[in-house]
Copies of this chain bind each other. A is one copy, B any other.
Amino acid sequence: MPSFFLEPGPAQKIRGLANPNVSFWLSQGVKKRVIIVGGVAGGASAAARLRRLDENAEIVIFERGAFVSFANCGLPYRVGDVITDERKLLVATPELLRDRFRIEVHTEHEVTAIDRIARTVTVRNLSDGSERQETYDALLLSPGAVPIRPPIPDIGLPGVFTVRSIPDVRQIRAWIDKHAAKRAVIVGGGFIGLEMAENLRHRGLDVTVIEKLDQLMPPLDPEMAIPVRLHCESHGVTVRLGDGLASLAAAANGGLTVRTDHNLEIAADLVILSIGVRPETQLAKAAGLTIGPRGGIVVDSHMRTSDPSIWAVGDAVETFDVVTTSPALVPLAGPANRQARIAAASIAGRSAGFRGVQGTAVCGVLGLTIASTGASEKSLRRAGLLDFQAVYLHPGHHVGYYPGAKPIHLKLLFRPSDGRVLGAQAVGKAGVERRIDIVAMAIQMRATVDDLAEAELCYAPQYGAAKDPVNLAGMIAQNARNQDSPLAGWSEIDDPGVLILDVRERSEWHAGHFESAVHIPLGQLRDRLGELPKDRPILVHCAVGLRAHIAVRILRQRGFDARNLSGGWTTWRHVEAAAESARAYLPEPRAVPPEPTG
């Protein structure tokens, strides 16, 4: 094809393309054949976007399953009958893709091999087993991820399910109905596990969640996961941390017997496996495409693989974390969609770059919202980035004087050296996703804690506060950075050289306190300074951090070496409970936790 070697026209603005041929074809109106492997989120999005950019391309989707463009994220809610009509999960049908976008869709067709030299794929029709070759000019891989199934015998027993497809959900629903299921065991306490816990509770089942880690919701830091566990337990979910699935057996009554690593036997009518997913890379590997250290398909910022005619998007690709810059597998719908748009643009000869992922995610469980963005303390430590500090706070989601305020447990991570916001985690019953979204935008725009402090956000009594939780988090970090009110870490309270000062009121002290602490209510502090030493570090705490901040300011102006135990007694109880979980369930050191599975 000599046309390959012609210069691209000036209108194409190609930057960093390894292979400009495709865009050249487009600019010349030559009909190009684009094959897309996988028709769920990434594949279908890319196909539609490509059509909007190129009326001439022949676009063909091969999807192994029976459905394209279905709402993966909605599956747990179909199990729970919250979504009452399965058809609602079909975001775009093959007919719509054909009529509106002239996209050819073949469901139940699996691409089994890629011949990169010939630019063909082998396609197997799963209904009749026939195989054929299809040629491509550009190939887009959107194979997704597959649920991890523990390598134990009998994992294939009837009544053991994953939640990844519409047929999965049909089977779970049918099984619950047929067996009048009453008891479910969920293996894995991440996004899908908790969403399934909610939905199975909603259907009236008893639910036990077992999780190998010593915390629920692995993307959170352990102390932030404590309110999640307490909430689940208060809603009747049994949570077993630090324990995994050891074996499964069919029980005499037609049910299943689940045995855990710690040798607990749990009777169940069904078992849900939600221990995470791994990228579906079999096809890419067999074709010799480069696979990354985390096991995903390696792509450049244009979503192009190591073969310049092959692009890949979605759960199967390895991308990078914008905060830690570490390689990352982030199986989330938002990034998959952004990647799909970029891959389509690149295939259409345009320049667009993927900026990486922040891992912004949200999960609802039984009325509680859990959300996070950017780095966690765990992920920073894992990446060796130790220039960080954590701020904890527990403000209401709106002002306290308006009825119905719910606390938000918020942890902000920032870089003291330059003030950059690194990440945030929040748990609460209202306003949680809003605050995380604000911080997500702040991280994207490389904001500092000063920017958070000065943010101008929506305030009316039923919506927030004149100082929004995001403002407060920024102010606390500001005060820590400029040494007005330095923060102490909770691990420091074990240091025998420090003095712990509790500035809460007497009733709060009596409800629970550190044995070694000195108790001086804030209102008496100025008159009782003589009781405090100037030669020992003083770690001050109150219930959530505000009174301690005021106390720290008084003390530091009087020459004391005082710091604030961030988040106060409320955070301490979470920290202590997390340590308790770790002690109770982890007799030996454990491996690095798996990636988030939302």
Chain A contact residues, CB within 8 Å of chain B = 41, 51-56, 71, 73-74, 77, 82-84, 88-89, 91, 99-102, 191, 195, 332-338, 341, 355, 357-364, 369, 371, 373, 399-403, 433-434, 436-438, 440-442, 444-447, 451, 454-464, 466-468, 471, 475, 484, 522-523, 526, 549-550, 553-554, 557-558, 598
**Most chain-B Cβ atoms within 10 A of its Cβ — which of A82, A102, A461, A462?**
A461
Known: A55-B554, A437-B437, A438-B437. A399 touches B74 (CB 8 A): yes
Rounded to whole angstroms, the CA-CA distance of A84 and B403 in the bound complex is 9
If A71-B399, A77-B462, A438-B440 are given as contacts, then 6 extra A-B residue pairs at C-beta distance below 8 Å, sorted by A number, are A52-B549, A55-B558, A83-B401, A83-B403, A102-B526, A433-B463
Q: Which residues on the B side are within 8 Å of A484 (C-beta)? A: 52-53
Smallest CB-CB A-B distances: 6 pairs? A445-B445, A362-B458, A434-B434, A333-B466, A433-B458, A88-B401
A77–B334 touching, CB < 8 Å: no
A477 to nearest B CB, angstroms?
14
A37–B55 alpha-carbon span in the complex (Å):
68
Cα distance, A293 to B234, chains bound together (Å): 59
Q: Is A464 a contact of B433 with CB atoms below 8 Å?
A: yes
B466 in contact with A336 (CB, 8 Å):
yes
Interfacial chain B residues near A554, Cβ < 8 Å: 55
> Nearest chain-B residue to A88 (Cβ)?
B401
Cβ A440 vs Cβ B457 within 8 A: yes
Are A441 and B455 in contact, with the CB atoms below 8 A? yes
For the complex, give the distance between the alpha carbons of A402 and B52 in Å. Answer: 27
Residue from the list B369, B436, B459 in contact with A362, Cβ < 8 A: B459
A51 smallest CB distance to B (angstroms)? 8
Whether the pair B358, A456 counts as a contact (CB closer than 8 A) is yes
A220 vs chain B, min Cβ distance (A):
14
Of the candidates A191, A458, A553, the one having the most CB atoms from chain B within 10 angstroms of its own CB is A458
Q: Name the distance in Å between A532's Cβ and chain B's nearest Cβ.
A: 15
A361 CB contacts on chain B under 8 angstroms: 458-460
Q: Give, as a whole number of angstroms, the nearest-CB distance from A437 to chain B.
A: 5
Closest chain B residue, CB of each to CB of A452: B441
Complex: A300 Cα to B135 Cα, angstroms: 68
| Most interface-central of A52, A441, A445 (chain B CB within 10 A) | A441
| Contacting pair B52 A553 (CB below 8 A) | yes
A364–B456 contact, CB under 8 A?
A: no
- The answer to whether A447 touches B441 (Cβ under 8 A) is yes
Q: A454-B444, A457-B437 are in contact. Are A402 and B364 (CB under 8 A)?
A: no
Nearest residue in B to A372 (C-beta to C-beta)? B458
Does B444 lie within 8 Å of A91, measured CB to CB?
no
> Once bound together, how far apart are the Cα atoms of A88 and B403, in whole Å?
10
Asked, given contacts A338-B454, A454-B444, whether A460 binds B363 with beta carbons under 8 Å apart, the answer is: yes
Q: A100-B550, A441-B445 are in contact. Are A401 and B458 (CB under 8 A)?
A: no
Partner among B401, B441, B468 whose Cβ is within 8 Å of the Cβ of A71 = B401
- The complex places the Cα of A91 from the Cα of B396 at a distance, in Å, of 14
- Chain B residues contacting A71 (CB-CB under 8 Å) are 399, 401, 461
Is B553's CB under 8 angstroms from A53's CB? yes
How far is A39 from B56 in the complex, measured between Cα atoms in Å? Answer: 69
Give the nearest-CB partner of A524 in chain B: B99
Chain B CB within 10 A, most for which of A332, A335, A433: A433
**In the complex, A523→B102 CA distance in Å?**
10
Which of A99, A447, A460 gathers the greatest number of chain B CB atoms within 10 Å? A460
Q: Is the CB of B461 within 8 A of A74?
A: yes
Q: Is the CB of B73 within 8 A of A459?
A: yes
In whole angstroms, what is the CA distance A456 to B523 when docked? 44
CA distance A373 to B457 in the complex (A): 8
CB pair B362–A460 under 8 Å, yes or no, is: yes
8 contacts between A and B (CB under 8 A): A77-B402, A84-B403, A337-B467, A338-B454, A341-B475, A433-B463, A438-B438, A440-B458
Complex contacts, A558 vs chain B, CB 8 Å: 55
Shortest CB distance A445–B (Å) = 4
- Cα distance A77–B404 when bound, in Å? 13
Which single member of B54, B433, B557 contacts A434 (CB below 8 Å)?
B433
Give the Cβ gap from A501 to chain B, nearest Cβ, in Å: 16
A522 to chain B, nearest CB (A): 6
Q: How many angstroms between the C-alpha atoms of A55 and B400 in the bound complex?
A: 28
Given contacts A73-B461, A460-B73, A461-B74, contact A550 B52 (CB under 8 A): yes
Q: Which residues on B sit within 8 Å (CB–CB) of A475?
A: 341
In the complex, how many angstroms separate the beta carbon of A596 from the nearest chain B beta carbon?
13
Q: Which residues of B contact A55 (CB under 8 A)?
A: 553-554, 557-558
Q: Tell me, rounded to whole Å, the shortest Cβ–Cβ distance linking A508 to chain B.
A: 15
Task: Please state if A451 and B445 are interface contacts (CB–CB under 8 Å).
Answer: yes
Q: Bound complex: CA of A558 vs CA of B53, how far in Å?
A: 12
What is the CA–CA distance of A521 and B181 in the complex, to the nearest angstrom? 48
CB distance from A334 to the nearest CB of B (A): 5
Distance A362 CA – B462 CA, assembled complex (angstroms): 10
Interchain nearest-CB distance for A461 vs B (Å): 5
Please indicate the chain B residues that have their CB under 8 angstroms from the CB of A455 in the complex: 440-441, 444
**Min CB–CB distance A588 → chain B (angstroms):** 35
Q: Which of chain B's residues have a CB closer than 8 A to the CB of A456? A: 334-335, 338, 357-360, 373, 440, 444
Please give, as numbers and ranges, the residues of chain B lying within 8 Å of A362 by CB-CB distance. 458-460, 463-464
How distant is A569 from chain B, measured CB to nearest CB, in Å? 19
